[in-house]
Structure 1
Amino acid sequence: MSTAIKETQFKFPGQQGFYKGKVRDVYIFDKKIAVVASDRISAFDVVLPRAIPQKGQVLNQIAAKFLQATSDIVPNWVESIPHPQVTIGKKCEPFKVEMVIRGYLAGHAAREYKAGKRMVCGVSLPEGLRENDKLPSPIITPTTKASEGHDEDISKEQILAQGIVSKEDYEVLEKYTHALFERGTTIAKQMGLLLVDTKYEFGKYGDQILLIDEIHTPDSSRYFYADGYDGLQEAGLPQKQLSKEFVRQWLIKNGFQGKEGQQVPEMPDSFVEEVSERYIELFEKITGEKFIKAATKALEKDIETAILEHI
């Protein structure tokens, strides 16, 4: 089993704070942050007990590639990537919503639809859709950005009524979200994939709106293979996908959906290795590049040194 970083607990000169997210460890300085993409994995808003080797590197490097590939659409927070699992960038004030955009009826939206709901986050869905059907046009289904616990579905109208985001800023976020999804869809198509749904997070650096966090990774996005999509839909069969959904399905099969009182099942070594391989597969499929594993002999020390040299 390869080395995996479950968490980091560094202390840096000039450090003003620390935030531990579901996956990322964020070191906060005066005007910048250093973000370590750990190998933790979450599902149903719960961090699972086992870390996944190479996962952090996969996420960080895919995000770096696509942040650069979309910088002409919207400026982003990145300043440097001194290590395969580290990104250093501008310290922004995040908007307290995640902009989820869906081109297909899949995942959470499909589960809601199957339960009889025809309105998701204030967006009306037509009758007669099947799971994984392409939607008439992409829809934005935002969620609250919870500091603890579960993110919650919310509508544009609720966001504006509660003053979570101003009308002017929200319209900019909508515009950016549609443009980013269109670019992501185009890039995915070139690689034989369908970008099914994804989420974007934004923040403000002064008065400027920046794209923050990661984009188009297997943690923030769902992909189907384009080849065979139509045939599988016609046959009513599950789509072959590159995303975390197979982890969620494994958890569901083992009696866990993040609900109160449910016990997180322990992932065996064989499944941990399978998850790692699937993440690497997505990296190579979506980027068209060969994945080169970073040295892991002194992984934690290498990460600490990289941050020290760039803060």
Structure 2
Amino acid sequence: MLHIMTITDTNFNFPGQKSLYKGKVRAVYNINDDLLVMIATDRLSAFDVVMPKGIPFKGQILNQIATKFMAQTEDLVPNWLVATPDPNVAVGHLCEPFKVEMVIRGYMSGHAAREYKAGRRLLCGVAMPEGMKENDKFPEPIITPATKAEMGDHDEDISREDIIKKGIVSEDDYIVLEDYTRKLFQRGTEIAASRGLILVDTKYEFGKTKDGKIVLIDEIHTPDSSRYFYADGYKTRQDNGEPQKQLSKEFVRQWLIGNGFQGLEGQTLPEMSDEYIETVSERYIELYENIMGEPFVKADVANIQERIKTNVEAYLASV
């Protein structure tokens, strides 16, 4: 069975471990209030609901995209990353996360398009122009932040003004977050274009190190946090009112919607067959190879738990 090859939960007890936090997809281990060991599991979340089965190689794919993009953007924006001792693991500096996700949109897609279709022209206090159709490019990228939710709760749209007024982020820090968000999106857009892709929208998360430095944390430009279109044929499809060819987990959301599920109260999560899960895994590998411009090398998954434990403990013993 496919799910034997996946890692959907971890309960390690590493040397110096102070705490364990489990997010929708990642498990974060605090080591001596100094380092964080972040393990990307194969869990799949959509509409803020975690699917019951894992997707083979998804954690490895997300971790490797995020860590490689951090290396490709560290000249612009400092990040939390220290090491990658295992294909599913990133080790970084302990940070205090900001309680907002910095969402930036170059095109009117996904949540923005759903809001627009419902007749709304303000998203997080930002005006969206009249006369747009789904997947059109915005005149300028717009930043539409969301407050970070605990597991299982929906993230909520919030305006820049409310973030500052409510004291969620200070104005000085928020100006830095906006600046970093725009710089990262510009770099991501350029890298995507070099691979025949359009970076449609994405989200970044930031934290503050113990010495007060704002750094990029978590994931960057992954298919879970971003939406990509194929550039080839984009204009023709827009002109003809056809859907865009996407590289993101939107295909999972659309499958769920087609099966009567949008994470709303009273809705039942549809069963994902092993065959469907295999196709999702294949799509994630395709995403990796297109986004990174290199072949995906599958890690040994005969005993993922033991592999991760051994690699992390060996790394911690070396620092």
TM-score normalised by the chain length of structure 1: 0.99
2:193 pairs with 1:189: yes
Gaps of 5+ in 2: none
Distance 2:80 2:23 in 1: 17
| Secondary structure class of the residue paired with 1:267 | coil
| Structure 1 residue 286 displacement after superposition | 1.0
What is residue 254 of structure 1 aligned with on the other side? Answer: 259
Q: Could you give the per-residue CA deviations for residues 249-297 of structure 1, whole angstroms, max 9, x where no partner exists?
A: 0000101001111111111111101110111001111111110000011
* 1:217 corresponds to: 222
- What secondary structure, in the 3-state scheme, does the structure 2 residue paired with 1:58 have? helix
Partner-residue secondary structure (3-state), 1:33 = strand
1:55 corresponds to: 58
Q: Which residue of 1 aligns with 2:6?
A: 4
Partner letter of residue 44 of structure 2? I
Shift of 1:13: 2.1
Q: State the match for 1:39 in structure 2.
A: 42
Matches of 1:78 and 1:132, distance apart in 2 = 33
Give the counterpart letter for 2:223 in structure 1.
Answer: P
Query: Equivalences for 1:153-192 in 2 at 5 Å?
Result: 153-192=157-196
**Residue equivalent to 1:137:** 140
What letter corresponds to residue 23 of structure 1 in structure 2? V
Q: Secondary structure at the match of 1:16?
A: strand
Distance in 2 of aligned mates of 1:240 and 1:291: 21
2: CA distance, partners of 1:267 / 1:307: 32
Q: 2: CA distance between counterparts of 1:309 and 1:27?
A: 15
2-side partners of 1:238 and 1:111: how far apart? 14
- Does 2:60 align with 1:93? no
Runs of 4+ in structure 1 over 2 Å off: none
Partner of 1:245: 250
Indicate the residue corresponding to 2:25 in structure 1. 23
Deviations 1:50-71 (A, max 9, x none): 1000000100000011000000
User: What secondary structure does 2:266 align onto?
Assistant: coil
Q: TM-score of the superposition, structure 2-length normalised?
A: 0.96
Number of aligned positions between the proteins: 311
Q: What one-letter code is carried by the residue in structure 2 that aligns with 1:7?
A: D
Residue 150 of structure 1: how far off its partner (Å): 0.8
Please state whether the residue corresponding to 1:286 is helix, strand or coil.
Answer: helix
In structure 1, stretches of 5+ residues that fail to align are none
